[in-house]
Chains A and B, each alone.
Chain A
Amino acid sequence: MVSERESELRQRAWDAAASVVDPEIPVLSIADLGVLRDVTLDGDRVEVAITPTYSGCPAMNMIALEIEIALERAGFRRPKVLTVLSPAWTTDWMSEAGRQKLRAYGIAPPQAASSRRALFGAQAIACPQCGSDKTELLSEFGSTSCKALWRCRACREPFDYFKCH
């Protein structure tokens, strides 16, 4: 049986880890993103499981380091961060709060695509600035692995779209 103290402790560890934000999109925490998968306790040692967004995402190293720092600050000694590949991360795990925060930040949140194999796809992504759906894709690959670059034809502003994955 899990003692009350233990579940409290685990919650504290979870909250500390969940406070870490994506270094490229600082409005999103790793909990919003669905990157934070699990927190386990063994005595006063804590182990955090995270899942990478993209195989080569350079933010993962930094996120792991930030988690260790956050846990040490919260009083946990020798925290350990594990990377788990399975099940593979998907944008479906992004919380509704996360989607709203993204939009408010100026990034269009992921939308289920008609088919990711359709060429020159006629996907309509609403502009996070003015809300218009008169938008066009500029580049399938944007400033980070997880984003594509779009442009709004109504307000003429370019914007990032968080790709469906």
Chain B
Amino acid sequence: MAAANIQVSETPLVLYALRRADDALILGHRLSEWCGHAPMLEEDMALSNIALDLIGQARELYSYAAKAEGRDNDEDKLAYLRDVRQYRNLLLVEQPNGDFAQTLVRQLFYSAFADLYWRAMMTSRDATLAAIAAKSEKESAYHLRHASEWIIRLGDGTDESHARAQAAIDQLWAFTGEMFVVDDGERALIHAGIAIDPGTLRGRWLTTLSDVVKEATLTLPQNDWMQQGGRAGRHSEHLGHLLSELQSMQRTFPGQTW
């Protein structure tokens, strides 16, 4: 019999940690799908290394969510035994890899945000979150540099790579707004100094992106209509497929260990 979904008591703090953990796990899983398929060996290693950093961040955040919840959930149960509607990640990170340009544009949008976000979170009054932020910030800086350099190469490369990079930017742009939105529960954490307000980072995020995109001879879309839903568990059809692979072992053999 397949393992049943767990119940999670989503207090604002638990939900906060789960959202960041889910972002890191889902993006890490997406990148791991490139393993053995990247356009060249060096990129195969780079994408796998970035995936590893993200999955490491996810583990810390899930462990913290489990501790904050104080029931019998743990990092593994949170990752493997929640269904798609219980996942709280950004819609951006679950978008399929597409071509190499799409993967790197997704990475650029996320890393440019994560880099600023974790640096700001180092001042959190919550010691564990501040410590996770300090580690994640160092890693995000490398991820951002890697993605930025690739977007510049692709955009300022051939007609083909330019067109693909621009198409990826146009396609993924509508998923970026969700990064800066907070709900009431999270606003309370911001007031308490536990979380930071991502809305305050949007200007700098845009500057980072604009600099890269300009050097890449690409353009950012002017439309500001943004798609949301992931933070509340309303996902695109892609996440269910991703989870069916990510969770298949634990769903088939509940409690299985190495």
Contacts and interface: CB of A to CB of B under 8 A. Distances in A.
A23 interface: no
A145 B145 contact: no
A137 to B, nearest CB: 10
Contacts of B52: 54, 56-58, 145
B135 A88 contact: yes
Contact of B139 (A55, A117, A138, A140): A55
B132 interface: yes
B70 to A, nearest CB: 20
Contacts of A130: none
Interface of B: 28, 42-43, 45-46, 48-57, 59-60, 127-128, 130-132, 134-136, 138-139, 141-142, 144-146, 148-149, 152, 212
Given A86-B134, A119-B152, 4 more contacts: A55-B60, A119-B149, A140-B145, A142-B49
Contact of A52 (B45, B135, B141, B142): B135
Contact of B148 (A52, A85, A86, A119): A119
Nearest to B49: A141
Contacts of A116: 141-142, 145
Given A56-B55, A58-B52, A165-B138, A140 B146 contact: yes
A89 B137 CA distance: 12
Interface residues of A, number: 26
A140 B142 contact: yes
A139 interface: yes
Contact of A117 (B43, B134, B144): B144
Contacts, number: 86
Contacts of B46: 139-141
A141 B135 CA distance: 17
B94 to A, nearest CB: 20
B136 A55 contact: yes
Contacts of B146: 140-141
B137 to A, nearest CB: 8
Among A55, A85, A86, A119, chain B packs the most CB atoms within 10 A around the CB of A55
A64 to B, nearest CB: 14
Contact of A143 (B45, B54, B56, B127): B45
B145 A117 contact: yes
B53 A55 contact: yes
Contact of B49 (A89, A117, A145, A165): A145
8 contacts: A55-B55, A56-B28, A119-B145, A119-B149, A139-B45, A139-B46, A141-B45, A165-B138
